[in-house]
Amino acid sequence: MDAYSQAVSSAAERVGPAVVRVETAGAPTPQKRGKQRPGGPDRRADQEQPSGQGSGVIFDSAGRVLTNEHVARGGRSLKVILPDGRTLPAAVEGADPRVDLAVLRVPDAGHTLPVAELNSAVLRVGQLVVAVGNPFGLNWTVTAGVVSALGRKLPVSPGVELTDLIQTDVPINPGNSGGPLVDSQGRVVGIATAIMPYARGLGFAVPVSTVLGALARFREARSHDGHRLGVSGMTYLLDERIAREHKLAQASGVLLLEVVPGSPAARASLRVQDIIVSIDGATVDAATEISERLTKASAEGIDVTFLRGSRLGRTKVML
């Protein structure tokens, strides 16, 4: 191959294994964002869709995935699909609509996940960049172009303006949202976020410098979030047959994506992939309800009811 083809091919091969498809279930329609259209799936206004999809990139072996906030927004459940065919449930670990970034967390896969490298080095106009994503559901599609301009601003909704964006002529289409923009070494330099409708060669990406700032804010928020149970999880739709078998009236529970070693949950023998359905006899059908239940917990601990596969279990958790 010629040098240009070799550079594009090598970049795609390096980042490709870490690029995932992000799917949402039961997601309400995103609101129209000013005159711009995000690179996610197009939907009719005010109409709940059974599913939506975008792209993302794994950036650490603990199972964290970068994507756009508008890709993850509002889904009742999330999952990521890897190029090797693995499908993993995911939860939003942090999100910031002001920069259109979200971090998803998937269950620890034994540190076997492929990881992309983030590169915050200064970009140059005219520099080769490559995008990998899932435009229109066409999985792991590679497109290439150049950095057209830097420091762009883009109003996306009333009162919200994305700033310091990378402008590129790399084709970005619905479904590319949240996917990586990489340099010739396959290092992530930006996260695809938006396109100008009816225009060609006008795509935008959030630079890695902005990504690193968002990651720092998410870490600070987690360090003060007061989770005393020692778990992270996501709202998860229950299997109807299993719910009927155990006479559970609710449609969802909280799927555990992480159980911190040595935490109260771990000492009570809760495991990753358990689904919490009630605490102290009160139904838990959304992840946000766990914190609410903990505020009412007594000094004697809490009684947690959970599903493990098709079996219903109960355990006492001392906080």
**Beta strands at 51-60 and 231-237: parallel, antiparallel or unpaired:** unpaired
Q: What is the 3-state secondary structure (H, E, C) of 166-193?
A: EEECCCCCCCCCCCEEECCCCCEEEEEE
Mapped onto helix, strand or coil, the DSSP state of residue 209 is: helix
List the catalytic residues: 70, 100, 177
CB 164 within 8 A of CB 151: yes
133-161: b or e for each residue (b if 16 or more CB lie within 10 Å)? bbbeeeebbbbbbebbeeebebebeeeee
Query: Could you give phi then psi for residue 251, rounded to 5 degrees?
Result: -95, -15
Q: Tokens for 44?
A: 């009719």
**Beta strands at 51-60 and 128-133: parallel, antiparallel or unpaired:** unpaired
